[in-house]
Chains A and B, each alone.
Chain A
Amino acid sequence: MTFSWHRVGAIVKKELKDYRRNRFVVILTMTVLPLVFVLLPVIQLFTIRVSEISSSKLDTRIGISLLYMLIVPAIIPSALSAYSVIGEREQGTLEPLLTTPIRSEELLVGKALAVSIPTLVVAYAIYGIFLIAVGAFANPALQVVVFGQAHLLVELLFIPLLAGWSIWVGIAISTRSADVRVAQQLSVFASLAPLIIVALLALNVIKPTLVLTLLLAAGLLVLDSVGWRLVALMFDRERLIVGEPR
Protein backbone atom coordinates (compact mmCIF):
# COMPACT_ATOMS: atom_id res chain seq x y z
CA MET A 1 0.00 0.00 0.00
CA THR A 2 1.25 3.44 -0.86
CA PHE A 3 1.40 6.70 1.05
CA SER A 4 -2.16 7.86 1.73
CA TRP A 5 -3.02 11.55 2.09
CA HIS A 6 -6.45 10.45 3.24
CA ARG A 7 -4.95 8.95 6.39
CA VAL A 8 -2.69 11.98 6.85
CA GLY A 9 -5.84 14.12 6.68
CA ALA A 10 -7.56 12.02 9.35
CA ILE A 11 -4.64 12.64 11.71
CA VAL A 12 -4.53 16.39 10.99
CA LYS A 13 -8.27 16.77 11.59
CA LYS A 14 -8.13 14.89 14.86
CA GLU A 15 -5.10 16.84 16.10
CA LEU A 16 -6.65 20.21 15.33
CA LYS A 17 -9.84 19.26 17.19
CA ASP A 18 -7.71 18.14 20.09
CA TYR A 19 -5.73 21.41 20.16
CA ARG A 20 -8.91 23.46 20.14
CA ARG A 21 -10.11 21.79 23.31
CA ASN A 22 -6.71 21.79 24.99
CA ARG A 23 -6.60 24.74 27.35
CA PHE A 24 -2.79 24.76 27.48
CA VAL A 25 -2.49 25.04 23.71
CA VAL A 26 -5.19 27.68 23.40
CA ILE A 27 -3.78 29.90 26.14
CA LEU A 28 -0.22 29.53 24.87
CA THR A 29 -0.93 30.26 21.23
CA MET A 30 -3.81 32.70 21.55
CA THR A 31 -2.84 34.82 24.54
CA VAL A 32 0.59 34.37 26.09
CA LEU A 33 2.75 34.29 22.97
CA PRO A 34 0.95 37.06 21.05
CA LEU A 35 1.04 39.33 24.09
CA VAL A 36 4.70 38.78 24.87
CA PHE A 37 5.97 38.78 21.32
CA VAL A 38 4.03 41.80 20.18
CA LEU A 39 4.82 43.83 23.29
CA LEU A 40 8.56 43.13 23.50
CA PRO A 41 9.50 44.21 19.97
CA VAL A 42 7.16 47.18 20.09
CA ILE A 43 8.82 48.31 23.32
CA GLN A 44 12.23 47.87 21.64
CA LEU A 45 11.32 50.18 18.82
CA PHE A 46 9.14 52.70 20.57
CA THR A 47 11.65 53.45 23.29
CA ILE A 48 14.31 54.52 20.81
CA ARG A 49 15.53 58.03 21.52
CA VAL A 50 15.69 60.54 18.68
CA SER A 51 19.47 60.76 19.06
CA GLU A 52 19.79 57.06 18.22
CA ILE A 53 17.80 57.20 15.01
CA SER A 54 20.75 57.67 12.73
CA SER A 55 23.28 55.62 14.69
CA SER A 56 24.19 51.96 14.31
CA LYS A 57 22.22 51.24 17.49
CA LEU A 58 19.11 51.52 15.38
CA ASP A 59 20.04 48.47 13.37
CA THR A 60 20.62 46.49 16.55
CA ARG A 61 17.27 47.52 18.00
CA ILE A 62 15.44 46.54 14.85
CA GLY A 63 17.45 43.33 14.65
CA ILE A 64 16.35 42.37 18.17
CA SER A 65 12.73 43.18 17.56
CA LEU A 66 12.64 41.13 14.38
CA LEU A 67 14.39 38.30 16.18
CA TYR A 68 11.47 38.17 18.62
CA MET A 69 9.22 37.47 15.65
CA LEU A 70 11.31 34.40 14.81
CA ILE A 71 11.23 32.98 18.31
CA VAL A 72 7.50 32.36 17.92
CA PRO A 73 7.69 29.80 15.10
CA ALA A 74 10.49 28.04 16.98
CA ILE A 75 8.74 27.92 20.36
CA ILE A 76 5.18 26.87 19.47
CA PRO A 77 6.19 23.66 17.67
CA SER A 78 8.62 22.59 20.32
CA ALA A 79 5.77 22.45 22.84
CA LEU A 80 3.30 20.78 20.49
CA SER A 81 5.46 18.40 18.51
CA ALA A 82 7.44 17.21 21.51
CA TYR A 83 4.11 16.02 22.88
CA SER A 84 2.94 14.40 19.65
CA VAL A 85 4.18 10.83 20.02
CA ILE A 86 5.09 10.44 23.67
CA GLY A 87 1.84 12.17 24.59
CA GLU A 88 -0.21 9.60 22.69
CA ARG A 89 1.83 6.90 24.31
CA GLU A 90 1.17 8.20 27.81
CA GLN A 91 -2.56 8.54 27.12
CA GLY A 92 -2.65 4.96 25.83
CA THR A 93 -3.94 6.05 22.43
CA LEU A 94 -0.82 5.12 20.50
CA GLU A 95 -1.51 1.38 20.49
CA PRO A 96 -4.99 1.63 18.95
CA LEU A 97 -3.65 4.17 16.47
CA LEU A 98 -0.86 1.84 15.37
CA THR A 99 -3.29 -1.06 14.93
CA THR A 100 -4.87 0.82 12.00
CA PRO A 101 -3.34 0.58 8.52
CA ILE A 102 -1.53 3.89 9.03
CA ARG A 103 2.15 3.92 8.07
CA SER A 104 4.76 5.58 10.23
CA GLU A 105 5.46 8.20 7.54
CA GLU A 106 1.77 9.10 7.29
CA LEU A 107 1.45 9.47 11.03
CA LEU A 108 4.53 11.70 11.20
CA VAL A 109 3.55 13.89 8.28
CA GLY A 110 0.04 14.26 9.73
CA LYS A 111 1.43 15.27 13.10
CA ALA A 112 3.85 17.74 11.51
CA LEU A 113 1.15 19.37 9.38
CA ALA A 114 -1.14 19.64 12.36
CA VAL A 115 1.55 21.44 14.36
CA SER A 116 2.48 23.72 11.47
CA ILE A 117 -1.04 25.11 11.03
CA PRO A 118 -1.44 26.91 14.38
CA THR A 119 2.27 27.75 14.33
CA LEU A 120 2.21 29.56 11.00
CA VAL A 121 -1.13 31.24 11.70
CA VAL A 122 0.06 32.62 15.03
CA ALA A 123 3.57 33.54 13.83
CA TYR A 124 2.37 35.44 10.77
CA ALA A 125 -0.44 37.05 12.75
CA ILE A 126 2.02 38.35 15.34
CA TYR A 127 4.31 39.66 12.61
CA GLY A 128 1.31 41.28 10.94
CA ILE A 129 0.22 43.02 14.15
CA PHE A 130 3.79 44.20 14.65
CA LEU A 131 3.94 45.65 11.13
CA ILE A 132 0.62 47.41 11.62
CA ALA A 133 1.84 48.92 14.90
CA VAL A 134 5.06 50.12 13.29
CA GLY A 135 3.26 51.42 10.22
CA ALA A 136 0.76 53.37 12.27
CA PHE A 137 2.81 54.77 15.11
CA ALA A 138 6.58 54.47 14.60
CA ASN A 139 9.11 57.05 13.52
CA PRO A 140 9.29 57.19 9.69
CA ALA A 141 13.01 56.42 9.80
CA LEU A 142 12.16 53.16 11.56
CA GLN A 143 9.39 52.34 9.13
CA VAL A 144 11.81 52.51 6.21
CA VAL A 145 14.04 49.87 7.76
CA VAL A 146 11.30 47.57 9.10
CA PHE A 147 9.45 47.60 5.78
CA GLY A 148 12.74 47.28 3.88
CA GLN A 149 12.93 44.32 1.48
CA ALA A 150 15.79 42.63 3.31
CA HIS A 151 13.88 42.38 6.60
CA LEU A 152 10.59 41.39 5.00
CA LEU A 153 12.35 38.61 3.09
CA VAL A 154 14.06 37.27 6.19
CA GLU A 155 10.82 37.20 8.19
CA LEU A 156 8.63 35.70 5.52
CA LEU A 157 11.22 33.07 4.64
CA PHE A 158 12.46 32.12 8.06
CA ILE A 159 9.12 31.81 9.84
CA PRO A 160 8.17 28.57 8.00
CA LEU A 161 11.74 27.30 7.77
CA LEU A 162 12.40 27.63 11.49
CA ALA A 163 8.98 26.16 12.23
CA GLY A 164 9.82 23.15 10.07
CA TRP A 165 13.09 22.59 11.88
CA SER A 166 11.42 22.81 15.31
CA ILE A 167 8.63 20.48 14.27
CA TRP A 168 10.89 17.69 13.07
CA VAL A 169 13.32 18.01 15.95
CA GLY A 170 10.40 17.99 18.39
CA ILE A 171 8.80 14.92 16.83
CA ALA A 172 12.14 13.14 16.68
CA ILE A 173 12.71 13.77 20.37
CA SER A 174 9.12 12.73 21.05
CA THR A 175 9.52 9.34 19.38
CA ARG A 176 12.61 8.62 21.44
CA SER A 177 11.94 9.97 24.89
CA ALA A 178 10.18 8.40 27.80
CA ASP A 179 8.71 11.50 29.41
CA VAL A 180 6.64 14.38 28.08
CA ARG A 181 8.34 17.07 30.16
CA VAL A 182 11.87 16.04 29.31
CA ALA A 183 10.87 15.88 25.65
CA GLN A 184 9.46 19.40 25.74
CA GLN A 185 12.50 20.88 27.48
CA LEU A 186 14.94 19.18 25.14
CA SER A 187 13.07 20.30 22.07
CA VAL A 188 12.89 23.92 23.22
CA PHE A 189 16.70 23.92 23.38
CA ALA A 190 17.06 22.14 20.07
CA SER A 191 14.60 24.41 18.32
CA LEU A 192 16.51 27.50 19.41
CA ALA A 193 19.78 26.25 17.89
CA PRO A 194 19.31 27.68 14.38
CA LEU A 195 18.06 30.90 15.97
CA ILE A 196 21.56 31.50 17.28
CA ILE A 197 22.85 31.89 13.74
CA VAL A 198 19.87 34.06 12.85
CA ALA A 199 20.59 36.13 15.96
CA LEU A 200 24.22 36.63 14.96
CA LEU A 201 23.00 37.85 11.60
CA ALA A 202 20.35 40.09 13.07
CA LEU A 203 22.80 41.69 15.48
CA ASN A 204 25.37 42.25 12.75
CA VAL A 205 27.93 39.99 14.40
CA ILE A 206 28.02 38.06 11.16
CA LYS A 207 27.60 40.44 8.25
CA PRO A 208 24.14 39.66 6.87
CA THR A 209 24.71 39.39 3.15
CA LEU A 210 22.00 38.18 0.85
CA VAL A 211 24.08 35.16 -0.15
CA LEU A 212 24.61 34.11 3.44
CA THR A 213 20.92 34.51 4.24
CA LEU A 214 19.89 32.47 1.25
CA LEU A 215 22.45 29.77 2.04
CA LEU A 216 21.11 29.47 5.55
CA ALA A 217 17.57 29.33 4.21
CA ALA A 218 18.52 26.65 1.70
CA GLY A 219 20.18 24.60 4.44
CA LEU A 220 17.07 24.73 6.59
CA LEU A 221 14.89 23.90 3.60
CA VAL A 222 16.88 20.75 2.93
CA LEU A 223 16.69 19.70 6.58
CA ASP A 224 12.94 20.38 6.68
CA SER A 225 12.23 18.36 3.58
CA VAL A 226 14.23 15.29 4.58
CA GLY A 227 13.11 15.59 8.21
CA TRP A 228 10.16 13.25 7.83
CA ARG A 229 12.37 10.54 6.33
CA LEU A 230 14.92 10.78 9.13
CA VAL A 231 12.23 10.74 11.79
CA ALA A 232 10.47 7.82 10.10
CA LEU A 233 13.70 5.85 10.40
CA MET A 234 13.77 6.56 14.12
CA PHE A 235 10.14 5.53 14.52
CA ASP A 236 10.23 2.04 15.99
CA ARG A 237 6.71 0.69 16.50
CA GLU A 238 7.79 -2.15 18.73
CA ARG A 239 9.81 0.06 21.05
CA LEU A 240 6.92 2.52 21.28
CA ILE A 241 4.48 -0.25 22.25
CA VAL A 242 6.56 -2.34 24.65
CA GLY A 243 9.61 -0.20 25.46
CA GLU A 244 10.38 0.81 29.01
CA PRO A 245 7.73 3.34 29.98
CA ARG A 246 10.17 5.62 31.79
Chain B
Amino acid sequence: MTSSTTFGSKAARVRAAGEPALVVEHLTKHFGSRIALDDVCFEVEQGEVFGLLGPNGAGKTTMIRILGTLIKPTFGNATVTGISLSRETGSEIRARISIMPETPGLYLRLTVWENLECFAGLYQLSHVNERIRKALASVNLADRQNELCGSLSKGLRQRVALARSLLSDPAVLFLDEPTSGLDPVAAHEVHDLIGALREHGVTTLVTTHRLEEAERLCDRVAIVNTKLLLVGKPDTLRADLFSRKLEVRLSSRLRDPSRVFSEVLGVKHWEEPEAGSYLLDVEDPDLVAPPLIRTLVGCGADVLAVGERRHSLEDVYLQLIGDGAGERK
Protein backbone atom coordinates (compact mmCIF):
# COMPACT_ATOMS: atom_id res chain seq x y z
CA MET B 1 0.00 0.00 0.00
CA THR B 2 1.09 3.52 -0.65
CA SER B 3 -0.04 6.80 0.80
CA SER B 4 -0.23 8.55 -2.55
CA THR B 5 -3.71 9.92 -3.09
CA THR B 6 -3.12 11.89 -6.29
CA PHE B 7 -4.91 9.53 -8.57
CA GLY B 8 -4.81 9.53 -12.33
CA SER B 9 -1.85 11.89 -12.35
CA LYS B 10 1.41 10.85 -13.92
CA ALA B 11 2.77 10.53 -10.40
CA ALA B 12 0.25 7.87 -9.48
CA ARG B 13 0.74 6.03 -12.69
CA VAL B 14 4.48 5.62 -12.50
CA ARG B 15 4.61 5.65 -8.76
CA ALA B 16 6.04 2.18 -8.67
CA ALA B 17 7.61 1.83 -12.07
CA GLY B 18 7.87 -1.76 -13.20
CA GLU B 19 5.22 -2.97 -10.79
CA PRO B 20 2.36 -4.62 -12.70
CA ALA B 21 -0.86 -2.61 -12.96
CA LEU B 22 -2.93 -5.70 -12.21
CA VAL B 23 -1.99 -8.92 -10.49
CA VAL B 24 -4.69 -11.56 -10.43
CA GLU B 25 -3.97 -14.53 -8.16
CA HIS B 26 -6.14 -17.64 -8.14
CA LEU B 27 -9.34 -15.60 -8.46
CA THR B 28 -12.42 -17.73 -8.01
CA LYS B 29 -16.03 -16.62 -7.88
CA HIS B 30 -19.04 -18.73 -7.05
CA PHE B 31 -22.65 -17.59 -7.39
CA GLY B 32 -24.39 -20.19 -5.27
CA SER B 33 -23.52 -23.46 -6.95
CA ARG B 34 -22.54 -21.80 -10.25
CA ILE B 35 -18.84 -21.23 -10.76
CA ALA B 36 -18.28 -18.02 -12.71
CA LEU B 37 -14.49 -17.91 -12.44
CA ASP B 38 -12.21 -20.73 -11.45
CA ASP B 39 -8.64 -20.17 -10.24
CA VAL B 40 -7.68 -17.49 -12.74
CA CYS B 41 -4.17 -16.02 -12.58
CA PHE B 42 -2.58 -13.37 -14.81
CA GLU B 43 -0.73 -10.08 -14.65
CA VAL B 44 -1.12 -6.92 -16.69
CA GLU B 45 1.84 -4.57 -17.06
CA GLN B 46 1.53 -0.81 -16.78
CA GLY B 47 0.55 0.76 -20.07
CA GLU B 48 -0.56 -2.51 -21.60
CA VAL B 49 -3.80 -3.00 -23.51
CA PHE B 50 -5.03 -6.37 -22.32
CA GLY B 51 -7.92 -8.20 -23.95
CA LEU B 52 -10.25 -10.58 -22.14
CA LEU B 53 -11.91 -12.90 -24.62
CA GLY B 54 -14.43 -15.60 -23.99
CA PRO B 55 -17.91 -16.81 -24.88
CA ASN B 56 -21.08 -15.54 -23.19
CA GLY B 57 -21.05 -16.40 -19.50
CA ALA B 58 -17.29 -16.94 -19.43
CA GLY B 59 -16.88 -14.65 -16.43
CA LYS B 60 -15.50 -11.52 -18.12
CA THR B 61 -17.90 -9.07 -16.49
CA THR B 62 -17.49 -10.88 -13.18
CA MET B 63 -13.71 -10.39 -13.46
CA ILE B 64 -14.14 -6.64 -14.06
CA ARG B 65 -16.57 -6.33 -11.16
CA ILE B 66 -14.15 -8.06 -8.81
CA LEU B 67 -11.18 -5.94 -9.90
CA GLY B 68 -13.39 -2.84 -9.63
CA THR B 69 -14.21 -3.74 -5.99
CA LEU B 70 -17.93 -4.10 -6.72
CA ILE B 71 -18.07 -7.74 -5.68
CA LYS B 72 -15.79 -9.88 -3.57
CA PRO B 73 -13.95 -12.94 -4.84
CA THR B 74 -14.87 -16.26 -3.24
CA PHE B 75 -11.21 -17.26 -3.18
CA GLY B 76 -8.00 -15.71 -4.34
CA ASN B 77 -6.83 -12.14 -4.39
CA ALA B 78 -5.77 -9.38 -6.71
CA THR B 79 -3.80 -6.15 -6.58
CA VAL B 80 -4.95 -3.18 -8.60
CA THR B 81 -2.37 -0.41 -9.19
CA GLY B 82 -0.36 -1.96 -6.40
CA ILE B 83 -3.21 -1.98 -3.87
CA SER B 84 -4.57 -5.28 -2.62
CA LEU B 85 -8.34 -5.79 -2.79
CA SER B 86 -9.96 -5.51 0.63
CA ARG B 87 -12.88 -3.89 2.36
CA GLU B 88 -10.82 -0.90 3.45
CA THR B 89 -9.07 -0.21 0.14
CA GLY B 90 -12.18 -0.14 -2.05
CA SER B 91 -12.59 3.62 -2.24
CA GLU B 92 -8.86 4.17 -2.78
CA ILE B 93 -8.72 1.66 -5.62
CA ARG B 94 -11.83 3.07 -7.25
CA ALA B 95 -10.27 6.54 -7.23
CA ARG B 96 -7.44 5.27 -9.45
CA ILE B 97 -9.44 3.27 -11.94
CA SER B 98 -12.53 3.70 -13.98
CA ILE B 99 -14.97 1.22 -15.38
CA MET B 100 -17.23 1.43 -18.37
CA PRO B 101 -19.87 -1.23 -17.64
CA GLU B 102 -21.71 -3.33 -20.20
CA THR B 103 -24.72 -0.99 -20.12
CA PRO B 104 -24.10 2.76 -20.10
CA GLY B 105 -26.30 3.49 -17.04
CA LEU B 106 -26.76 7.22 -17.65
CA TYR B 107 -29.22 9.48 -15.85
CA LEU B 108 -31.72 9.89 -18.64
CA ARG B 109 -33.37 13.03 -17.26
CA LEU B 110 -29.98 14.76 -17.05
CA THR B 111 -28.08 16.21 -19.98
CA VAL B 112 -24.82 14.76 -21.25
CA TRP B 113 -22.94 17.56 -19.52
CA GLU B 114 -24.80 17.12 -16.22
CA ASN B 115 -24.10 13.39 -16.21
CA LEU B 116 -20.38 14.02 -16.55
CA GLU B 117 -20.50 16.87 -14.04
CA CYS B 118 -21.99 14.54 -11.42
CA PHE B 119 -19.21 12.01 -11.93
CA ALA B 120 -16.53 14.72 -11.91
CA GLY B 121 -17.86 15.63 -8.46
CA LEU B 122 -17.75 12.02 -7.31
CA TYR B 123 -14.08 11.78 -8.37
CA GLN B 124 -13.46 15.18 -6.73
CA LEU B 125 -11.81 16.50 -9.88
CA SER B 126 -10.50 20.00 -10.34
CA HIS B 127 -10.80 21.98 -13.62
CA VAL B 128 -14.12 20.26 -14.16
CA ASN B 129 -15.31 22.19 -17.22
CA GLU B 130 -12.07 21.71 -19.05
CA ARG B 131 -12.02 17.99 -18.31
CA ILE B 132 -15.60 17.46 -19.40
CA ARG B 133 -14.96 19.34 -22.62
CA LYS B 134 -11.88 17.23 -23.32
CA ALA B 135 -13.64 13.95 -22.57
CA LEU B 136 -16.59 14.85 -24.81
CA ALA B 137 -14.31 15.96 -27.60
CA SER B 138 -12.43 12.67 -27.49
CA VAL B 139 -15.65 10.76 -28.26
CA ASN B 140 -16.88 13.41 -30.72
CA LEU B 141 -19.86 14.48 -28.63
CA ALA B 142 -18.97 18.11 -28.04
CA ASP B 143 -21.99 19.31 -30.01
CA ARG B 144 -24.47 17.15 -28.04
CA GLN B 145 -23.48 18.25 -24.54
CA ASN B 146 -26.77 19.96 -23.74
CA GLU B 147 -29.05 17.17 -24.88
CA LEU B 148 -30.88 14.98 -22.40
CA CYS B 149 -29.35 11.51 -22.30
CA GLY B 150 -32.83 10.05 -22.64
CA SER B 151 -33.03 11.42 -26.16
CA LEU B 152 -29.76 9.87 -27.35
CA SER B 153 -29.47 6.70 -29.41
CA LYS B 154 -27.94 3.55 -27.94
CA GLY B 155 -24.58 4.13 -29.59
CA LEU B 156 -24.42 7.75 -28.49
CA ARG B 157 -25.20 6.72 -24.91
CA GLN B 158 -22.36 4.23 -25.14
CA ARG B 159 -20.05 7.06 -26.15
CA VAL B 160 -21.21 9.24 -23.26
CA ALA B 161 -20.40 6.35 -20.93
CA LEU B 162 -16.96 6.11 -22.49
CA ALA B 163 -16.41 9.85 -22.02
CA ARG B 164 -17.52 9.46 -18.41
CA SER B 165 -14.91 6.76 -17.83
CA LEU B 166 -12.16 8.99 -19.27
CA LEU B 167 -13.01 11.98 -17.06
CA SER B 168 -10.96 11.01 -14.06
CA ASP B 169 -7.78 10.31 -16.03
CA PRO B 170 -7.57 6.78 -14.61
CA ALA B 171 -4.41 4.72 -14.20
CA VAL B 172 -6.32 1.57 -15.16
CA LEU B 173 -9.33 1.64 -17.43
CA PHE B 174 -11.77 -1.27 -17.60
CA LEU B 175 -13.93 -1.40 -20.72
CA ASP B 176 -16.66 -4.04 -20.83
CA GLU B 177 -17.49 -4.53 -24.50
CA PRO B 178 -16.86 -0.90 -25.42
CA THR B 179 -17.82 -1.19 -29.07
CA SER B 180 -20.96 -3.28 -28.82
CA GLY B 181 -23.77 -1.29 -30.40
CA LEU B 182 -21.49 1.14 -32.18
CA ASP B 183 -21.50 1.70 -35.93
CA PRO B 184 -18.24 0.84 -37.74
CA VAL B 185 -17.03 4.44 -37.83
CA ALA B 186 -17.70 4.98 -34.12
CA ALA B 187 -16.11 1.62 -33.29
CA HIS B 188 -13.07 2.67 -35.26
CA GLU B 189 -12.91 5.91 -33.30
CA VAL B 190 -13.02 3.96 -30.07
CA HIS B 191 -10.11 1.86 -31.31
CA ASP B 192 -8.15 5.03 -32.07
CA LEU B 193 -9.01 6.36 -28.65
CA ILE B 194 -7.71 3.24 -26.92
CA GLY B 195 -4.57 3.54 -29.02
CA ALA B 196 -4.15 7.15 -27.91
CA LEU B 197 -4.67 6.18 -24.26
CA ARG B 198 -1.97 3.58 -24.61
CA GLU B 199 0.39 6.34 -25.77
CA HIS B 200 -0.38 8.15 -22.53
CA GLY B 201 0.49 5.09 -20.48
CA VAL B 202 -3.04 4.18 -19.45
CA THR B 203 -3.40 0.48 -18.72
CA THR B 204 -6.56 -0.85 -20.34
CA LEU B 205 -8.40 -4.09 -19.76
CA VAL B 206 -10.98 -4.59 -22.47
CA THR B 207 -13.47 -7.41 -22.93
CA THR B 208 -14.82 -8.10 -26.36
CA HIS B 209 -16.44 -10.66 -28.59
CA ARG B 210 -14.91 -9.08 -31.68
CA LEU B 211 -11.78 -11.05 -32.27
CA GLU B 212 -10.39 -8.83 -35.00
CA GLU B 213 -10.78 -5.95 -32.55
CA ALA B 214 -8.79 -7.76 -29.89
CA GLU B 215 -6.15 -8.66 -32.44
CA ARG B 216 -5.79 -5.07 -33.62
CA LEU B 217 -5.89 -3.39 -30.22
CA CYS B 218 -4.40 -5.66 -27.65
CA ASP B 219 -0.80 -6.17 -26.72
CA ARG B 220 -1.85 -9.43 -25.09
CA VAL B 221 -5.06 -11.36 -24.80
CA ALA B 222 -6.38 -13.89 -22.33
CA ILE B 223 -8.91 -16.42 -23.45
CA VAL B 224 -11.19 -17.41 -20.58
CA ASN B 225 -14.06 -19.76 -20.19
CA THR B 226 -14.53 -19.84 -16.43
CA LYS B 227 -10.94 -21.04 -16.33
CA LEU B 228 -8.08 -19.19 -17.97
CA LEU B 229 -7.36 -21.14 -21.14
CA LEU B 230 -4.49 -19.19 -22.62
CA VAL B 231 -2.74 -15.87 -22.31
CA GLY B 232 -0.21 -14.29 -24.64
CA LYS B 233 0.44 -12.01 -27.59
CA PRO B 234 -1.96 -12.67 -30.48
CA ASP B 235 1.00 -13.57 -32.73
CA THR B 236 2.48 -16.01 -30.26
CA LEU B 237 -0.85 -17.68 -29.65
CA ARG B 238 -1.19 -18.26 -33.36
CA ALA B 239 2.31 -19.64 -33.73
CA ASP B 240 1.93 -21.90 -30.71
CA LEU B 241 -1.26 -23.46 -31.89
CA PHE B 242 -0.81 -23.72 -35.62
CA SER B 243 1.95 -24.69 -38.02
CA ARG B 244 2.64 -22.04 -40.64
CA LYS B 245 1.22 -22.50 -44.11
CA LEU B 246 1.91 -21.24 -47.62
CA GLU B 247 -0.99 -20.86 -49.96
CA VAL B 248 -0.30 -21.27 -53.69
CA ARG B 249 -2.73 -20.49 -56.49
CA LEU B 250 -2.05 -21.54 -60.06
CA SER B 251 -3.99 -20.98 -63.26
CA SER B 252 -4.39 -24.73 -63.66
CA ARG B 253 -3.73 -27.95 -61.71
CA LEU B 254 -0.24 -29.43 -61.52
CA ARG B 255 0.08 -32.74 -63.29
CA ASP B 256 2.22 -34.29 -60.52
CA PRO B 257 2.13 -32.11 -57.40
CA SER B 258 3.88 -34.73 -55.19
CA ARG B 259 6.95 -34.66 -57.37
CA VAL B 260 7.03 -30.84 -57.66
CA PHE B 261 6.66 -30.15 -53.93
CA SER B 262 9.14 -32.88 -52.92
CA GLU B 263 11.78 -31.00 -54.93
CA VAL B 264 11.42 -27.93 -52.67
CA LEU B 265 13.29 -28.03 -49.38
CA GLY B 266 11.22 -27.24 -46.30
CA VAL B 267 7.77 -28.37 -47.47
CA LYS B 268 6.56 -30.86 -44.87
CA HIS B 269 3.11 -31.63 -46.17
CA TRP B 270 0.71 -30.48 -48.89
CA GLU B 271 -2.94 -30.63 -49.74
CA GLU B 272 -5.15 -29.37 -52.55
CA PRO B 273 -8.37 -27.88 -51.10
CA GLU B 274 -9.63 -26.84 -54.55
CA ALA B 275 -8.42 -27.41 -58.10
CA GLY B 276 -5.27 -25.36 -58.72
CA SER B 277 -4.98 -24.22 -55.07
CA TYR B 278 -2.44 -25.78 -52.75
CA LEU B 279 -1.78 -25.44 -49.02
CA LEU B 280 1.74 -26.31 -47.88
CA ASP B 281 2.89 -26.86 -44.29
CA VAL B 282 6.27 -25.16 -44.02
CA GLU B 283 8.84 -24.32 -41.36
CA ASP B 284 9.50 -20.73 -42.49
CA PRO B 285 7.43 -19.26 -45.35
CA ASP B 286 10.04 -16.58 -46.11
CA LEU B 287 12.71 -19.21 -46.82
CA VAL B 288 10.52 -21.58 -48.75
CA ALA B 289 8.63 -19.16 -51.00
CA PRO B 290 11.46 -18.11 -53.42
CA PRO B 291 12.68 -21.64 -54.32
CA LEU B 292 9.09 -22.80 -54.49
CA ILE B 293 8.22 -20.14 -57.08
CA ARG B 294 11.34 -20.96 -59.12
CA THR B 295 10.46 -24.65 -59.13
CA LEU B 296 6.83 -23.96 -60.15
CA VAL B 297 7.89 -21.64 -62.97
CA GLY B 298 10.54 -24.19 -64.00
CA CYS B 299 7.91 -26.85 -64.55
CA GLY B 300 5.72 -24.52 -66.61
CA ALA B 301 3.04 -23.58 -64.08
CA ASP B 302 1.40 -20.11 -64.27
CA VAL B 303 1.65 -18.72 -60.70
CA LEU B 304 -1.25 -16.44 -59.74
CA ALA B 305 -0.40 -15.95 -56.07
CA VAL B 306 1.84 -17.25 -53.31
CA GLY B 307 1.36 -16.07 -49.76
CA GLU B 308 1.31 -17.07 -46.17
CA ARG B 309 -2.01 -18.31 -44.90
CA ARG B 310 -2.55 -16.32 -41.72
CA HIS B 311 -4.50 -17.83 -38.88
CA SER B 312 -6.67 -15.24 -37.26
CA LEU B 313 -7.22 -14.95 -33.56
CA GLU B 314 -10.62 -16.30 -34.39
CA ASP B 315 -9.03 -19.60 -35.41
CA VAL B 316 -7.15 -19.65 -32.11
CA TYR B 317 -10.34 -18.89 -30.23
CA LEU B 318 -12.43 -21.48 -32.01
CA GLN B 319 -9.70 -24.07 -31.60
CA LEU B 320 -9.64 -23.43 -27.83
CA ILE B 321 -13.29 -22.88 -27.07
CA GLY B 322 -14.43 -25.16 -29.87
CA ASP B 323 -17.54 -27.16 -29.10
CA GLY B 324 -16.99 -26.33 -25.43
CA ALA B 325 -18.79 -23.05 -26.07
CA GLY B 326 -21.79 -24.91 -27.32
CA GLU B 327 -22.08 -26.89 -24.12
CA ARG B 328 -22.56 -23.74 -22.09
CA LYS B 329 -26.00 -22.27 -22.13
Contact = CB atoms under 8 A, between A and B. Distances in A.
Interface of A: 1, 4, 6-7, 9-11, 13-14, 17-18, 21-22, 91-103, 237-238, 241-242
Interface stretch (B37-45, B52-60, B100-108, B256-264): B100-108
B122 to A, nearest CB: 4
Contact of A238 (B71, B101, B106, B120): B71
Contacts of B117: 13
A241 B36 CA distance: 15
19 contacts: A1-B5, A6-B121, A6-B124, A9-B121, A10-B119, A10-B122, A17-B114, A22-B109, A91-B107, A93-B107, A95-B105, A96-B99, A96-B105, A96-B161, A99-B98, A99-B99, A100-B119, A101-B123, A237-B71
Contact of A94 (B65, B91, B105, B106): B105
A13 B121 CA distance: 10
A14 B164 CA distance: 15
Interface in B66-124: 68, 70-72, 91-92, 94-95, 98-99, 101, 103-110, 114, 117-124
Given A7-B124, A93-B107, A99-B101, A241 B118 contact: no
A18 B99 contact: no
Interface of B: 5, 31, 65, 68, 70-72, 91-92, 94-95, 98-99, 101, 103-110, 114, 117-124, 148, 161, 164
A199 B98 CA distance: 51
Contacts of B110: 14, 17-18, 21
B245 to A, nearest CB: 45
A241 B106 CA distance: 16
Contact of B70 (A18, A91, A92, A237): A237
Contacts of B65: 241-242
Contacts of B70: 95, 98-99, 237-238, 241
A192 B55 CA distance: 51
A4 B117 CA distance: 17
Nearest to A18: B109
A102 B98 CA distance: 12
Given A14-B110, A237-B70, 19 more contacts: A1-B91, A10-B120, A10-B122, A13-B117, A14-B114, A17-B109, A18-B109, A91-B105, A91-B108, A92-B103, A94-B105, A95-B101, A95-B103, A99-B101, A100-B94, A101-B91, A237-B71, A241-B70, A242-B31
A100 B44 CA distance: 22
A18 B101 contact: no
B122 A1 contact: no
A44 B193 CA distance: 67
A216 B312 CA distance: 73
Given A4-B124, A6-B124, A7-B124, A93 B94 contact: no
Contacts of A93: 105-107
B109 A99 contact: no
A80 to B, nearest CB: 14
Contact of B107 (A1, A6, A18, A241): A18
A175 to B, nearest CB: 15
Given A13-B118, A13-B121, A94-B105, A101 B71 contact: no
Contacts of A97: 105, 122
A91 B92 CA distance: 26
Contacts of A102: 91, 122
A89 to B, nearest CB: 10
Nearest to A9: B121
A101 B8 CA distance: 13
Most buried by A among B5, B31, B109, B122: B122
Contact of A14 (B72, B99, B105, B107): B107
Contacts of A95: 70, 101, 103, 105
A101 B92 CA distance: 7
Top 8 A-B residue pairs of the complex, sorted by shortest distance between their CB atoms:
A10-B121, A100-B122, A101-B95, A14-B118, A99-B99, A96-B105, A21-B109, A92-B105
